[in-house]
Chain A
Amino acid sequence: MRVEQIFWTKPSGWQRSSHGSDKVDLAFYFGTRQSLADGTRYEEILKMFPESRVIGCSTGGQIRDDDVSDDEVAGVALGFDATPIKTAYEPILHSGESRACGEAIGRKLQAPDLAGIFVLSDGLNVNGSELVAGLTEIVGKVVSLTGGLAGDGAQFSETLVGCDCAPRSGMVAAVGFYGSAVRIGHGSAGGWDVFGPRRRITRSKGNVLLELDGELALDLYERYLGEDEAKGLPGTGLLFPLQIHDPKQPDHEVVRTILSIDRQGRSMTFAGDLPEGWSAQLMRGNFDRLAAGAADAARQARAGISECKDGDAVALLVSCIGRRLLMGQRATDEVEAAGIELGSKISRLGFYSYGEISPHAASGICELHNQTMTVTTIAEAA
């Protein structure tokens, strides 16, 4: 497998780490909504790699090696020796269609030798949990399924996804990797600390949280955040995610990030389901703990490709926008921490997302995560 990093900046245009004439099968690219919206970046990439599948999305910041940036478009071109790939995409207009959309993509990619799927989804019009459930329903739990929800900085107004076309809103795209040669590793970790009492979700509707312990969710939340932070909702909500778990499975904790709030209805919408009866506890982040979490995720992902000694490898890092907002410039801490674990041979590319998709570290069942660093490593075995 061959990996070539590419990136674009306004003053310099596209720059490539090498100008190999090798065949390129797949190109990923990530950039801000503003830099991708007119489709020019996509056209340029297609011109560079006319034979390649091109898949990308808008973000809350790009990760390229140790850097986190907002102004460049970061990408990677992959050439496989023995791994067939296939892309699929489905439009999604409403989050209610999420499960069906996941199933449709699953059906397009399903094959006996399907080894893994990397999925990029619209970050706002989607119920990520349902999307993942739909995909898993079709392809099964054995196939590695990772990816993330597109981002839109801290604006939360529109997210874009493109697969073999200019990126657009309301789109879910995925790439399937096939055959026995490809190796896909994955890891996911948060590093957040819980605080305050453990509460019960007493009223919710899908991913809309209405009451905790019988108290209006937003009231409770605002009280905890304090006046200053409460004013900044929903943006500041990213800094205080909820950890939830099924009381029957206490080890199976999932973190949920706030997507939006309804000040009238006093409800909060999260980037994933909050089932009634589940336990919920407020979380807060600490720079060092978050960076340690990213390192943990990288360690898990690296183990998945440990047998690939020769050839290039790539790591796709999908980290939550909440982490970036919290860490500010110190976001590079977590990217560097992941880089140390992965080692210098593995090219790193990624983005800050509105939701991460990865198997749960404890159960192995793929789910939507929030506030995590999720690392997917791809390589080919000799």
Chain B
Amino acid sequence: MVGVMADALHKLLAKQIAKATDDLGKVDVAELCRLVSSAYDDLDRDRRRTDRSIALMIEELNRTHERLLDAFDVVPEGLALFDAEGRYVLWNRRYEEIYSGCRDAIALGARFEDTLRVALARDLYPDAKGREDAWLAKRLARHAQPQNSEEQHLPGDRWIRVEERRTADGGSIGVRIDITESKKREESFRFLFDGNPVPMWVIDRETLKFLAVNDAVIGHYGYSRDEFLNMTARDLRPAEQRAEFDQLMGSGRISQGTTVWQHRKSDGTIVLVSMYARDLEYRGRAARLCAVVDVTEGKRAENRILEQKLQLDAALDNMSQGLVMFDAQGRIVLCNQRYFEMYNLSRDVVKPGCTLRELIEHRRDTGLFTGDPDEYRRQIFDDIAQKKASSRTLELSDGRFVHCVNQPMDGGGWVVTHEDITERKRTEQDRDRSQAFLDLVIENIPVTVVVKDAVDFRYILVNRAGEDYYGVPRSKMIGKTAHEVLARPAADLVTALDRKVCENGKPLFDEHFLDTPGHGTRVATSTRMPMFDEHGQPRYILAVVNDITERKDAEARIAHLVHHDPLTDLPNRSAFNVRLNATLERAATANESFAVIHIDLDRFKEVNDVFGQVVGDAVLCELTRRLQVAANGAFLARLGGDEFALIAADGAQPATAVSLAERLLAIVGNEMDVSGQRLRAGFSIGVAIYPTDGDDAEKLLGNAASALYRAKSEGRGSIRFFEPEMDTRLRDSRALQRDLCLALERNEMSLQYQPQARIDGAVVGFEALARWRHPSRGMVTPGTFIPLAEESGIIVQIGEWVLREACREAASWLKPLQIAVNLSPGQFRHGDLPGLVHAVLLETGLAPARLELEITESVLISDFSRAVSILRRLKALGAQIVMDDFGTGYSSLSYLQSFPFDKIKIDREFILNVDRKPQSAAIVRAVVGLGRSLGLPVVAEGVETNEQLAFLADEACDQVQGFLIGGPFPIAAYAELVGRPVTPALRLVATG
């Protein structure tokens, strides 16, 4: 250690020298001194600090020692510390007090043995008297043991407990406790304990071992004292009580007579005891003193009474009735469980001693008593005073019924039983309600129910439906027989049925007509059944009568409707088919001929559109009436819409069919007045004859339809008989329609342009006309393909193509001539026509004012407001709107009023006849005049002769169109007119 320190100091000195040496190796002695001195100071300071901390530690130690001594003196026990040689090292004040007789001998370094000798010499240990040396030797021997505990008797009858223990350093520590007081207490305890007549014992609280038992215990239990001292308190308990006993001991609670324990005596008998215990210290141990009271006899008697009471209580509580007993003062003596439950009573209120008044008030508080408490009480007391049993039924507010019986007792009190009779009451009420319900059902059932006496057949019960059925009030039926109520035949019938039921004894079903007094003849079904008495004899007859008159009528109506058209009441298509098949069968069998005549109204749709469906229906009804007259017995049916068909089965064919068809046309063709409108309906008729035109129903009807189609296409109001090629033509037309759908993409469509001129001959524009060149059929006329296009809807695409082509063409002209394009109704119905026109005008660059859009009346007919709206939008684009075919429709004039047309075009029919029919001339004149007064230019179509032109000029018609001006040709033919260079060949065509 010294070496290490020297080494460190040496190293330090070397560093100090190095630090004090300059670059040239010269040592600055002053600096070295300063460094050494400073290092010394550091060390010195460190040493001083060490001294300081040691001093502090010693100071702390001394303080601790003093505190220890102080603490020593405070301790209530005497304490003494000895070193390994048995010399006093430390002792406290209490120690000195205990041994005050030899206090002077107790000193630091004094030997314990010497102190004892002094004490013995001064007679301080009474027990040692006369045997001092032996006593001293034993005392010192005990003191030398590792541990010693003893009681020491000191003069003045003082007792000290000595506890001694050896310490690790060979010394010892002794503790002295003054136990004089407890010694005295123990003695007096002994005195009280041993002779006490109450059996008592003391047990160790920890081990439960008996520490002491008095004589009474020994006498009571029969065990000897020695036996007791080898037992524990647990051993006294029979096995089944030990767990409970352990639990009590574990809980730390002390028996205070509340529990009755079983103890086993030495002879094996069990006694019942109450224990009273108290914790105390007994000979230095935690102990418990227990006093025992034998309660075996008392318990037995008590148990017997209790058992009887329990039985009685069980009987009372298991009664189905509530029971309550009052004494003469009206106080409750007892009441059973059921009584509490019935009135939901509180045990806090209702208990022995509770008065009748309190009881009733409590019942009123719980809501189960609604009467007047005083009145109720008074009644009871009155009854009891008269020693009279009484009973009453109470209806409780919760809906229950309780029957109470008050029975006076001899002693002056009385007993009341309460029986809940709610169920019984309910059953009665239910029965009444069921009865009422059944009566109500029977009364209101919409079927006649009648009950009669099975002997004299008098009415006993008739329900309301029965009154209605017979038309006789019940009061006039009950107690009477059928003969007294009904007419004779009806009464006979009814009585016969009644009798039959009684004879057969079985239910009887019957359907019959019955003349009733109130409602005439009714169709009815009746079910009768006998009701037997206890001897099996019929006592009543129950009859249920169902009036089926209305149902029968309805069935008939439905059957009619199935086969008839509801509007005209003519047989419908299905009835027609049945009739046709029947006729076919008959004709085939009889080898006869007959005709199927198919009729279709011309332009009926327009009638509906123009005049509305009500007028249309009226027209159909009027026509039906006429057809029925003309049919003259032939079977007439309405197949649907405006389609009718006849089967002409009588007479030779086709002559009969011809005359019938002509008769039909003649009669039907006459004008009719319907709802104030004068109308004429045209017919087209197609006829097919069996067997030449077909030998089954389908073919016959189909061929009649073909003939009809032909008749329609050849001009309305005609009759056609079926010819085999008609079938072919129809198919042909279908093929053409298919081709038309492809015409646009195959580039088969083209436009021709017909000039329109002022009346002075100057051309002002052209009408664009569509042409179809079919690859195999050549040119197809517009009259053929336009209807087909309308029918198939392709007209929309064709119309668009025409518009675009015409505008594109017109836009290319050098002269700003008008271009007229026809719009079809189909274009108005589908797509966005104004949008299309707008787009085409933008596309082609044609000035909108140059475009004239021609529409016919049919455009406006189908959906007037939509059409007008579209026309307004077209007009808003700047296009001119022209009314085409003016004068051919029903209400051209009214349309002129509803839309500001730009031009009127007079139908060619009028122009053709202008020089032949004065009516036509008059119409043309009127139209031109109309146009003038409305400020509308008028175009005359179909001008072919100079006479016509002259007429129109005279009438100051504005514009003309027709072959006289120029026919429809490809635009090349009019190149010059539109301002294009002209090829000579084409000019030839144009002028030719």
Contacts and interface: CB of A to CB of B under 8 A. Distances in A.
Contact of A196 (B15, B46, B49, B56): B56
Interface in A5-62: none
Given A195-B57, A197-B60, A284-B53, A329 B46 contact: no
A327 B43 CA distance: 8
B38 interface: yes
Given A229-B49, A287-B46, A329 B56 contact: no
Interface string B42-55: 10001011101100
Given A197-B60, A287-B46, A329 B35 contact: yes
A328 B53 contact: no
Nearest to B55: A226
24 contacts: A195-B53, A195-B56, A196-B53, A196-B56, A196-B60, A197-B60, A224-B56, A229-B52, A239-B49, A284-B50, A284-B53, A286-B46, A326-B46, A327-B42, A328-B38, A328-B39, A328-B42, A329-B15, A329-B16, A330-B8, A330-B39, A330-B42, A332-B15, A333-B8
Contacts of A330: 8, 12, 39, 42
A226 B49 CA distance: 9
Contacts of A196: 53, 56-57, 60
Nearest to B39: A329
Given A229-B49, A329-B42, 19 more contacts: A195-B53, A195-B57, A196-B57, A197-B60, A224-B56, A226-B52, A229-B52, A239-B49, A284-B49, A327-B42, A328-B39, A329-B12, A329-B15, A329-B16, A329-B39, A330-B8, A330-B12, A330-B39, A332-B12
Nearest to B5: A288
Nearest to A327: B42
Contacts of A329: 12, 15-16, 35, 38-39, 42
Contacts of A225: 52
Interface in A255-303: 284, 286-287
Interface string A222-240: 0011101100000000010
A153 to B, nearest CB: 16
Interface in A308-331: 326-330
A233 to B, nearest CB: 14
Nearest to A197: B60
B31 to A, nearest CB: 13
Contacts of A326: 46
A176 B638 CA distance: 105
A141 B8 CA distance: 41
B615 to A, nearest CB: 92
Contacts of B48: 228
Q: 5 closest Cβ contacts across the A-B interface?
A: A328-B42, A329-B39, A226-B52, A195-B53, A284-B53
Interface string B29-44: 0000001001101100
A321 to B, nearest CB: 15
Classify chain A's interface size. Answer: 10 to 19
Interface string A208-221: 00000000000000
Nearest to B19: A329
Nearest to B46: A287
A225 B35 CA distance: 26
Contacts of A328: 38-39, 41-42
A193 to B, nearest CB: 9
A228 B60 CA distance: 20
Contacts of A286: 46, 50
B24 to A, nearest CB: 14
A225 B51 CA distance: 11
Residue among B15, B41, B52, B53 having the largest count of chain A Cβ atoms under 10 Å: B53
A284 B39 CA distance: 19
Contacts of B57: 195-196
Most buried by B among A196, A284, A287, A329: A329
A225 B52 CA distance: 8
Contacts of A239: 49
Interface string B3-31: 00000100010011000000000000000
A363 to B, nearest CB: 29
Nearest to A283: B53
Interface in B48-91: 48-50, 52-53, 56-57, 60
Contacts of B38: 328-329
B740 to A, nearest CB: 79
A81 to B, nearest CB: 37
Contacts of A224: 56
B396 to A, nearest CB: 71
A123 to B, nearest CB: 24
A320 B520 CA distance: 133
Which of B46, B50, B60 has the most A CB atoms < 10 Å from its CB? B46
B899 to A, nearest CB: 82
Nearest to B57: A195
A363 B38 CA distance: 40
A241 B12 CA distance: 26
A330 to B, nearest CB: 6
A286 B12 CA distance: 16
Nearest to B54: A195
Contacts of B15: 329, 332
Contacts of A284: 49-50, 53
Interface string A331-345: 011000000000000
A329 B11 CA distance: 11
Contacts of B49: 229, 239, 284
A333 B15 CA distance: 11
B64 to A, nearest CB: 9
Contacts of B39: 328-330
Nearest to B16: A329
Contacts of A229: 49, 52
A224 B49 CA distance: 10
Nearest to A228: B48
B16 to A, nearest CB: 7
B543 to A, nearest CB: 102
Contacts of A332: 12, 15
Nearest to A328: B42
A239 B50 CA distance: 11
Nearest to A67: B15
A224 B55 CA distance: 10
